[in-house]
């Protein structure tokens, strides 16, 4: 097996590359960097990636966050900041934010760890971000607009103290 497995381009469901997040909801869980991508299992590339991940551990394949039966998700996590590049292969020094109302596509590069008889896992090694856009939210503004409003409100509150 190769040292790394590269996914096909997938739809970003969750992305935390510029801030650490908890690995799971358990108290005391490790914090690190994570991505969850949705793939189309009906394509040759999607089916091949799914087979490779299933061979490592079938529990790594998720279907809860999908729209159709052929779609699946894969989440990868790492304790160390992964290498992040844009679609042209340039290292990204400033990492993008990804909000609830953001949409985008990316490729993940993972390193398999075969572990023991209970199955292995995958560690996130790198990400290629092809696109990220923030759409209008239900509140009438984009997440970046809401963040700017929050920062302005906090500045005003600090002046009053």
CA 98 to chain centre: 9
Determine contact, residues 116/137, Cβ cutoff 8 Å: no
pLDDT band at 130; cut points 50, 70, 90:
very high
pTM (global) more than 0.85: no
CA 33 to chain centre: 8
**CA–CA dist 27, 76 (Å, integer):** 20
pLDDT score recorded for residue 25: 62
Phi-psi region of 144 (alpha: psi -120 to 50; beta: other; left: phi over 0): alpha
The tens digit of pLDDT for each residue in 25-81 reads 666 678 999 999 999 999 999 999 999 999 999 999 998 777 888 999 999 999 999
To 5 degrees, how large is the angle CA 28–CA 30–CA 32? Answer: 145
Domain regions of the chain by residue span? 5-135
Strand ranges, E, within 7-157 = 10-22, 31-40, 61-62, 71-78, 83-86, 102-116, 119-134
> Between β-strands 10-22 and 31-40, what pairing exists: parallel, antiparallel or unpaired?
antiparallel
pLDDT score recorded for residue 2: 56
Q: Which fold has domain 5-135?
A: OB fold (Dihydrolipoamide Acetyltransferase, E2P) (2.40.50)
Mean pLDDT of 131-145: 65
Q: Which residues contact 109 (CB under 8 A, 6 or more apart)?
A: 4, 5, 6, 7, 83, 124, 125, 126, 127, 128
pLDDT score recorded for residue 27: 60
The tens digit of pLDDT for each residue in 72-119 reads 999 999 999 999 999 999 999 888 888 888 999 999 999 999 876 667
């Amino acid at each position: 097996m190769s040292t790394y497995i590269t996914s096909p381009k997938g739809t970003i469901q969750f992305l935390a590359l510029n801030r650490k997040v908890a690995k799971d909801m358990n108290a005391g869980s490790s914090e690190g960097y994570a991505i969850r991508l949705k793939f189309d299992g009906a394509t040759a590339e999607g089916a091949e990636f799914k087979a490779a991940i299933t061979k490592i551990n079938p529990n790594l394949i998720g279907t809860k966050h999908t729209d159709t039966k052929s779609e699946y998700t894969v989440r990868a996590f790492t304790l160390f900041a992964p290498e992040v590049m844009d679609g042209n292969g340039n290292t990204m020094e400033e990492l993008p934010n990804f909000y609830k109302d953001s949409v985008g596509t990316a490729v993940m590069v993972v390193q398999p760890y075969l572990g023991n008889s209970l199955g292995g896992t995958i560690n996130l090694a790198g990400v290629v971000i092809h696109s990220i856009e923030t759409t209008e939210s239900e509140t009438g503004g984009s997440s970046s607009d809401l963040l700017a409003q929050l920062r302005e409100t906090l500045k005003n509150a600090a002046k009053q103290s």
